[in-house]
Amino acid sequence: MTLIDKDIIAKKRTGRQSRNQIFKWLFFLCTMFGLAVLIMLITDTLMDGWSRLNMDFLTNFNSSRAENAGFFGAIIGSLWLMLVTTPVAIILSVGTALYLEEYAPKNKFTDFIKINISNLAGVPSVVFGLLGLAMFVRALALGNSVLAAGLTLALMILPVIVVASQEAIRAVPASVREASIGMGATKWQTVSRIILPAAIPGIITGIILAISRAIGETAPLVVIGVPTTLLVTPTSVFDSFQAMPMQIYSWVKMPNEEFQYIAAAGIIVLLVILLLMNSVAIFIRNKFSKRY
């Protein structure tokens, strides 16, 4: 009969509990550090830009004089940009994820495609800007239009949404699929009525992250040649436009200190629009959320 030494057990338990507390507080301090830095950045931005937020700023076009500079053209241009980017990216990425997970044969070539899509999610945005410049701006002669920029940003965020959609589709239990097939449903009926509705919360989470990245991207727009000063708003997807991150980038480079406060006001507007878009997406995600 083996005797258990209670003192040894108590000593080991004490050591494990001590290590547990150390790592618990270490992770807590890491979280607090990131949160503190974020609060300081937001506070500094609000202090610099809050006084510049008024109706003139929101309704005026950009100007070389700080007191007359506005954000209206950039806001409208970014909304046009998202109207192109969002549907193109969602349709292509969700369709790709559904094919790869539900229809594509399980072989090495399919695995090769999945690996490359995952790798594309980490490619720097400037590379997609160069792709957009070569393909849309020059080859298709779209110029620095809303359509060219929207397609470029759609390509940039497409891998992010594809990967998130794949994970959401995989999370649907196999028993749900088998039950649908067992009831006589076709493959498409199972995908459209069972799998896709169940995966919508995870898919929308990926879309939120991707759109948040796209609306704040500057590098692809710089490469494409999006103007920073334009006194008209686009009326079609073939028109030139301004974008909020490009306008902020332009103001930050100005030697006049007043433009730094204008840039802070622009950042506040960009954050508010981003939060509103995310709120709508989160509402849709919660509305269609299903638990299995």
Per residue in 215-273, pLDDT (tens digit) is: 888 888 888 888 877 788 888 899 888 889 888 888 888 888 888 889 899 999 998 98
* Number of Cβ atoms within 10 Å of the Cβ of 108: 7
What is the tally of helices (H) and strands (E) in the chain? 12, 0
* Chain centroid, CA 194 distance in Å: 26
Signed CA dihedral, 218, 245, 150, 228: sign only: negative
**Residue pair 94/168 in contact by the 8 Å Cβ criterion:** no
* Higher-scoring residue by pLDDT: 60, 287: 60
- pLDDT, residue 1, reads 47
The kind and range of the H/E element at 233 are: none
pLDDT digits (tens, 9 = 90+) for 10-20: 667 777 788 88
**Residue pair 182/194 in contact by the 8 Å Cβ criterion:** no
**Residue pair 265/52 in contact by the 8 Å Cβ criterion:** yes
- pLDDT, residue 92, reads 94
Confidence of residue 4 (pLDDT cuts 50, 70, 90): low
**Residue pair 113/100 in contact by the 8 Å Cβ criterion:** yes
**Residue pair 237/150 in contact by the 8 Å Cβ criterion:** yes
Read off the tokens for 69.
């500079």
Q: Give every CB contact of residue 60 below 8 A, 6+ residues apart in sequence.
A: 68, 69, 70, 71, 72
Terminal C-alpha separation, the chain: 47
Distance CA 287, CA 292 (A): 15
Distance CA 150, CA 78 (A): 10
Q: Give every CB contact of residue 103 below 8 A, 6+ residues apart in sequence.
A: 187
Q: What mean pLDDT is predicted for residues 183-201?
A: 85
**Residue pair 171/103 in contact by the 8 Å Cβ criterion:** no
- pLDDT, residue 285, reads 74
Read off the tokens for 49.
């830009």
Would you mind telling me the total number of residues written for the chain in this entry?
292
- pLDDT, residue 90, reads 92
The kind and range of the H/E element at 237 are: none
Confidence of residue 128 (pLDDT cuts 50, 70, 90): very high
**Residue pair 255/180 in contact by the 8 Å Cβ criterion:** no
Distance CA 248, CA 203 (A): 30
